[in-house]
Amino acid sequence: MKLRFALASLATLALVFGSSTASATLTSSEKGQIKDFVASARTADAGRVRSLVARTDLAPEESVAVLSEALTQLAFTEQRAVFLRELVFGGASAPSRPLVAHVVVKSLLARADAIHQKYALGLDREPRALAELTSIYAFIDGTIANAGKPTLATHDPSAGIPSATYEECSKALRDHVEHNARWLKGDAAVPDTVARTRAQAHLALFDMLPDGLTRRVDAADRLALKGARRQMLIEWGILFEDGGKLEDGKVERVRQLLAKLGSVRGEIEAIASIDDPLPLTGRGPIVQAPRDEANPFGDEVTPGTFDGPTSAISHSLAVMVAKKALDAKSDLRARAEKDVVAASGDPMRILGRPLAPSVEHVVGAAVHLLLVDAPRAVDLAFVRLLDARPESAALLSDAMGTLDGISAPVTALKLAPYGAATGFTLEGHAWSMDRTGPALAVTGASRDGKLVSLAFLSTAKTPLKEAASWSEGGLSFSKLHGTPRAGLVPASAKEGLTVKLAGTGTKGYDVIVTRAPSDDVLLEGDLTVSSAPGGIVFRAASGRDAVKGGMLLVTPSGRVAMVTTDDAGAEAPLSAPIEPPPAMPVHVRIAVKGTKVEATVGKTKLEGTLPAGLAKGDIGFVAKRGANVEFAGFSLRKP
């Protein structure tokens, strides 16, 4: 039976692609029947059309011509797609399938050529035409190029379409792309409306090529790909489709990421970064990523180098990494599902910005941060751990458990029996996480054997929290008034401690203070005030309804002034103001001796005399609602 089919296919191929002496022609009546049957697109008539176009006494060019004439005048619809599928693969179609598949592909490309010709000058402004073209290319790809059950590398030989047919169909696609090069050929930028159509045409041509060692190179040549896009296709068989919007350097960064993804990379046929959510048709998985995305790290760590389009692609790839690992590790999936529930969708506890609420997407969001910037991902998870939000560290642990199949940004992974990581090395430092108790929550972390503190998290911003007191490195501040949110950043080898204050109260200033080392003091550091009035308080004391004392106040886009405040919060000037305020941060030096105050703000000196009742008091910081005050390199001493 197989031998008879093979011989029949060879005979048909000889007639289609070899020299033929066929001289018969279809009658006008037969051509009319084909037109009518194609127009009505009833699957019951597909066999009758097949019997006419697949006649062995016809030249293949005539079969193509008559079907092209029928299809060129008709919109390609889902009903017509069903009809053509039946024409190629319906009952008793096997002997003629090589010929009919070739005829159908060339006839559909004739319809596509007609659309391109009609809208040659403005195809990008014709959504219906673009949708039809995309549907034609998708049908050619999904139904003909990927008939049966192909692998990423090979066609399905049992589908009944031989290599010679695929070769001829691929040449037809090559000629079609060349003929409509403005919209289809190459990797130069095209309008967003055309990007999906071009991507689908590229997929159809790539998938149609016959199996062989040169398939990837042939595709790159026929599509005129260059740079990283060409290298990606030749090395791994991955098409990169972005409508030509990304410069080659950014595509190269994606290629370098793919180089680290091991077996996950081998499962991908294409990456599509286009502003069109509709799926593409291909032989293998197609990673479809949005054109751009927001920085997933938020504002709890300092900004790093970030590019939205490449980050969006990395995010989609990270979800693939997470899914593959979670599918293979049932214990890790079970652990991760519990950790996702514990995070309860809170963006301040989830690590990253998941694209969906599923465990694959939540863990994938954490993997994404590791792939984009592992040091910041670790800092973000652990600064939240220090702020009593251990859920992010648990998701970091789960995410690292999915990395053992790729070239990970962290090394020396230590995995618990349930698959999550409890230890790793990053930038030469050995980190560990304690996951204890029935819930296996992260209860602590260490770096190089020492408990994690803010001093170890170089990119983490100090978490600001409302409290009665704040302490760091032997220095303590306490709340004096309002509802301040504050934080202390540990001193470094180069500069002193940094104090941060955010005003949230609705009445007057929020105030935090520390005890002065003596009646006379010298305060020095770099001051930044933004969004609302705030600054430094000296000689501070608690008043009846407000803080009384001396203040150096900064009103953003306004002025800098020394003032005194009384029990009711009324302000009186101590000196002439600085208008406008200097650029922030600005170095400030305040010396207080008895009732005499001398403040140097940048290069400007302010002087004033305090009331006798303010000869003593604490030192601190003040912020109106909405203000952010930061004082870096805090130095407080006797003059």
pLDDT at 570: 87
pLDDT at 566: 87
pLDDT at 162: 97
Averaged pLDDT, 2-20: 43
pLDDT at 568: 80
CA–CA separation, 27 and 173 (whole Å): 30
pLDDT at 22: 57
Paired sense of beta strands 421-426 and 429-436, if any:
antiparallel
Which residues share a beta bridge with 287?
A: 271
Residue written as tokens 């940004």? 409
Residue 455 pLDDT exceeds 90: no
Do 482 and 509 touch, CB atoms closer than 8 A? yes
Among 86-95, 99-108, 513-522, 562-571, the minimum mean pLDDT is found in: 562-571
Structure tokens at 504: 């949230």
Averaged pLDDT, 154-181: 97
Instruction: Return the percentage of the chain with pLDDT > 70, whole number.
Output: 96
Contacts of 507 (CB under 8 A, 6+ apart): 482
User: Mean pLDDT for the chain?
Assistant: 92
Averaged pLDDT, 287-306: 91
Residue 14 pLDDT exceeds 50: no
Do 156 and 90 touch, CB atoms closer than 8 A? no
pLDDT bucket at 615, cuts 50 / 70 / 90 = confident
Averaged pLDDT, 17-40: 82
Structure tokens at 429: 């430092």
Taking each helix axis as running N to C, give the angle between helix 97-118 and helix 163-179, from 0 to 180 degrees, rounded to the nearest 10: 10
Do 584 and 601 touch, CB atoms closer than 8 A? no
For residue 595, how many C-alpha atoms fall within 13 Å in the half-sphere facing its CB? Answer: 8
Within 10 angstroms of residue 346's Cβ, the number of other Cβ atoms is 11
Averaged pLDDT, 71-98: 96
CA–CA separation, 513 and 550 (whole Å): 13
CA–CA separation, 181 and 189 (whole Å): 12
Query: Nearest 5 degrees, angle CA 121-CA 309-CA 190?
Result: 10
Contacts of 75 (CB under 8 A, 6+ apart): 132
Paired sense of beta strands 618-623 and 534-542, if any:
antiparallel
Averaged pLDDT, 24-39: 94
Beta strands in 99-236 (DSSP E): none
pLDDT at 12: 44
Beta strands in 307-404 (DSSP E): none
Which has more confidence, 625 or 493?
Answer: 625
The single-letter DSSP state of residue 493 is: S
Do 552 and 544 touch, CB atoms closer than 8 A? no
pLDDT bucket at 13, cuts 50 / 70 / 90 = very low
Residue 377 pLDDT exceeds 50: yes
Q: How far is CA 471 from the centre of its chain?
A: 38
pLDDT at 526: 96
Among 19-28, 167-176, 268-277, the minimum mean pLDDT is found in: 19-28
How far are the Cα atoms of 10, 294, 297, 348, 489 from residue 353, in angstroms, in the given order? 56, 9, 8, 10, 26
Residue 545 pLDDT exceeds 80: no
Averaged pLDDT, 251-271: 95
Structure tokens at 636: 């407080």
**DSSP output for 36-75:** HHHHHT-GGGHHHHHHHHT-TTB-HHHHHHHHHHHHHTS-
Q: 445-451: long-range contacts (C-beta < 8 A, 24 or more apart)?
A: 445/382, 445/385, 445/393
Q: Which strand (E) or helix (H) includes residue 128?
A: helix 127-139
What is the number of H-type helices and E-type strands within the chain? 18, 24
CA–CA separation, 232 and 226 (whole Å): 10
What is the value of pTM for the model shown? 0.79
The greatest distance separating any two alpha carbons of the chain, rounded to the nearest whole angstrom, comes to 119
Which residues share a beta bridge with 596?
A: 593, 609
How far are the Cα atoms of 283, 505, 524, 550, 636 from residue 616, in angstroms, in the given order? 79, 26, 18, 10, 15
The single-letter DSSP state of residue 142 is: I
Structure tokens at 334: 């079970």
Q: pLDDT of 548-601, one tens digit each?
A: 899 999 998 889 999 999 888 889 999 999 999 999 999 999 999 999 999 999
Domain extent listing, the chain = 2-244, 308-456, 466-637
pLDDT at 493: 64
CATH of domain 466-637: 2.60.120.560
Contacts of 37 (CB under 8 A, 6+ apart): 45, 46, 48, 49
Structure tokens at 290: 């949005």
Nearest alpha-carbon partner for 418 in 390, 439, 432 = 439
Within 10 angstroms of residue 267's Cβ, the number of other Cβ atoms is 13
Residue 490 pLDDT exceeds 90: no
